[in-house]
Structure 1
Amino acid sequence: MLTMAAACGGPTNMANAPASGSETAPQGGSASSSPSVPPPGKPQFDPPRGAVRVPDNRVDGTALPKTFPKEVYSDNGGTVLVVRAEEGGCGHALGEAVEQTAQKVVVDLSETKAQTGQMCTMDLRHPVISVALGAPLGQRTVVLKQSPPR
């Protein structure tokens, strides 16, 4: 019982823990000259500087589970969507614009499957992921949907 309590007493989200010998900048700070680019292999949890939040009335997340985040930003002149996704354990969030019309952009969110035989944590993370668009978002609605892990 004591071992379980000690194991549970550590950080709750190891995805934000620095690797051995590395340092992280404080929230809003800068560890390098390019703060919006995460270090290789590290998930990004904040939208890039300069990204503009898409108003909630232009984000349709009704197809997502109730607890799934429904946060979308536009970046790079509206040609890139930055979407708050969900991943856990050994999975990594994925996103793809599967439909782009004059009225809407449909973004399919998923995550990679964990490899069999691999030990995975039971944490839940909400990184932001980038989804390229064929044309600037403009006034189109963003429709979020979720597919099973791939």
Structure 2
Amino acid sequence: MATRFDPFQELDRLFGQVLAADRASATMPMDLYRSGDHYVLHVDLPGADPGTIDVAVEDRTLTIRAQRSPRTDQDVQWLAKERPSGTYARQLAVGSGLALDRIEATYTDGVLTLTIPVAEEAKPRKISVQHGAPTAIEASTSA
């Protein structure tokens, strides 16, 4: 049985800080799975301002940023305020084998979906074996 190649080796690395990573996973929970020849990443971003969502790739790091604006209603007495606001970021270190230049992103119903294709050179492929006629080996004697 062959080992499956996983290009997402260090999934959660937000600016190298454990506390920041905990905050990111709490404010940007995600699901990641492989489907055929691509990976699908779903990131929950409810209430994010759609114009602030930014997805970038630099080197082998995928960065997702989004902003939730705080409510600024006047003459309000807050009884509970648990929904976070501000700018949030999450970084994922990805290995080789992905076509990072062909990522597709959509944002629907508060969920950012990234479709990340597997690079052509990383896809499994069959190598055909050519069959040829056996060649005779001639022995020579030298004196």
Q: TM-score range by the shorter chain?
A: 0.3 to 0.5
Instruction: Give the TM-score normalised by the residue count of structure 1.
Output: 0.33
Larger radius of gyration: 2
